[in-house]
Amino acid sequence: MPVTNFSTPEKYTYLPGFATYHESEAIPNTIPIAQNAPQKPAHGLYAEKLSGTAFTAPRHENQQAWLYRIVPASAHSSFDPLDLSPKLNPPTSENGRWHQIPNQLRWSPFDLDDQASWVDGMHLVAGAGDAALKHGLGILVFAVGKSMERRTAYYSADGDALIVLQHGVLDVTTEFGKILVRPGEIFVIPRGIRYRVDLPDGPARGYILELYSGHFALPELGPIGTNGLANGGDFQCPVAAFEEDFEDGNTYTLVAKFAGKLFRAKQDHTPFDVVGWKGNYYPYKYDLGRFNTMGTISYDHPDPSIFTVLTAQSDKPGTAIADFVIFPPRWLVGEDTFRPPYYHRNCMSEFMGMICGEYDAKIGGGFLPAGASLHNVMSAHGPDAETHKKASEAPLKPVKVGEGSMAFMFESCLMVGVTEWGLHKCDKVQEDYNKESWEGLKGHFKRPDGEAAR
Ligand SMILES: O=C(O)Cc1cc(O)ccc1O
Ligand SMILES: [Fe+2]
């Protein structure tokens, strides 16, 4: 699977730029000049605002969009509960509790599912906090084999979803236009935006980080300077596109995720009726092959924060509710250096997934594409015994690691709990993870006087 797509022709066109002001219209002269809500918007449209932050959020954090649409988003029936929620339900008092355990966990690859569509193909595996309190994150896996019904749309009121595609292609219709998400790309759909997922190329699978508070941002670059890591100009957002589907008898289903539960409403027209939009709150994608990877050119193993694509900061500067970090193919040249990830205990929790290939801390196997691992707060981890042996003896020539591979990490300052589905029902947790990885690590200590320590 290619990790770089950026030269491949695309079905859709996009606007470039991260968290920047854009405007896009499918019909000329849709967006009013120098105002937002004229008495009579152009072409008989309605003006509607979508707020991604509080009205009074600081100017540099404020995110909003104005949509010029055929019928306002409120024109639907009231919501009824939809009975798929047990998979997604956050473990609250009414629904059991998070399993908060210090065990190192590893999951074998999650299965493809040719029966599920987007709405019923998502499973909450782990997370922290509470969507209702707008604090924390949800970690989900998805496996889908069917396009959503044509007259269906989905949104989540719980947070912004960062979707890491592991397999297949997602053809996403959103209120802001269309986005094709291809292997090696990630897709961010902010809170509240309605979308439909079609599968043009068979089943799809991947991971979702749902962020209950704030929004993703590019990390500061500090002494790195002006460019590097994920460059803002390489993010892509859709151009306005709309459907006209208002015939009598058309019934659309609108599915909402709200505080971890699913609800369903009906409406007689398409929700994808936005003829023009403007603002800085919109869905976007990013091709991980565009990442400008940094590393040491002298010695020692830098912290993986140098591989941060996007970050969602907590109130404490430098401490993230969620960082999205990748491990792309890269050259290792460190002299007198143990080159794989160091042995480690972290005050943060580390959930990792594998898009393709092999991860350089686990050549002993078991961490596989479509699988995952969780090293919680202060749970010790690091290279398996085989990786340690090989890396401590390897000649330190420049080597390229991770060719054709891409692992990633969701790192959070919160303790990450595991759902009942994630720990038991999915049946993917590897019982022998510790044994296979670290029991083979033997002491090699020798006292300087030559006597063996044990
Ligand atoms: O594999 C891990 O645990 C992630 C990780 C990678 C790395 O290069 C350094 C530290 C770290 O936690
Ligand atoms: Fe780690």
- pLDDT tens for residues 395-452? 999 999 999 999 999 999 999 999 999 999 999 999 999 999 999 999 989 998 866 5
Least confident range from 145-149, 276-280, 356-360, 405-409: namely 356-360
Please provide residue 222's backbone torsions phi and psi, each rounded to the nearest 5 degrees: 50, -135
pLDDT at 66 over 90: yes
Beta-carbon contacts of 23 under 8 Å, excluding residues fewer than 6 positions away, are: 31, 276, 277, 278, 279
Among residues 325, 309, 339, the alpha carbon closest in space to that of 228 is found at: 309
Phi-psi region of 200 (alpha: psi -120 to 50; beta: other; left: phi over 0): alpha
The pLDDT assigned to 250 comes to 73
Q: Which CATH superfamily is domain 291-430 in?
A: Jelly Rolls (2.60.120.10)
The mean predicted confidence, pLDDT, of the chain is: 93
Rounded Cα distance between 398 and 417, Å, is 40
β-sheet bridge partners, residue 123: 141
d(CA 219, CA 310) in angstroms, rounded, equals: 6
Mutate to test the pocket of ligand 1, among 294, 409, 416 (most ligand atoms within 8 A of CB): 409
Residue 361 near ligand 1, beta carbon < 6 Å:
yes
Q: What are phi and psi for residue 128, nearest 5 degrees? A: -155, 155
Write down the pLDDT at residue 2: 45
CA of 301 to the centre of ligand 1 (A): 10
> Hey, what are 240's tokens?
């306005």
User: Catalytic annotation on 301?
Assistant: yes
Q: Where are the domains of the chain?
A: 291-430
For residue 385, the surrounding DSSP H or E stretch is helix 385-393
Distance of alpha carbon 130 from the chain centroid? 18
**162-166, 282-286, 364-368, 401-405: lowest mean pLDDT where?**
364-368
Q: Locate 368 and state its tokens.
A: 């596989």
ipTM exceeds 0.85: yes
Which of 123, 301, 375, 388 is flagged as catalytic? 301
Give the model's pLDDT for residue 83. Answer: 83
Query: In which element (H, E) is residue 46 found?
Result: strand 46-51
Confidence of residue 113 (pLDDT cuts 50, 70, 90): very high
Q: For 13-56, how does the pLDDT look when each residue is reduced to its tens digit (9 = 90+)?
A: 999 999 999 999 999 999 999 999 999 999 999 999 999 999 99
- Note the pLDDT tens digit of each residue in 382-404: 999 999 999 999 999 999 999 99
User: Which is higher by pLDDT, 236 or 5?
Assistant: 236
Phi, psi of 96 (to 5 degrees): 80, -165
Contacts of 359 (CB under 8 A, 6+ apart): 327, 352, 367, 402, 405, 407
DSSP letters along 99-115, please? Answer: B-----EEEPPPPP-SS
Taking CA atoms only, the protein residue closest to ligand 1 atom 10 is 341
36 in Cβ contact with 47 (< 8 Å): yes
More confident residue, 433 or 362: 433
Write the DSSP assignment of 113-133 as a string of letters: -SS--GGGSEEEEEEEEEGGG
The predicted pLDDT at position 7 comes to: 61
pLDDT in tens, 308-333: 999 999 999 899 999 999 999 999 99
Does 354 contact ligand 1 (Cβ within 6 A)?
no
334 lines ligand 1 (CB under 6 A): no
User: How confident is the model at residue 176, as a pLDDT?
Assistant: 98
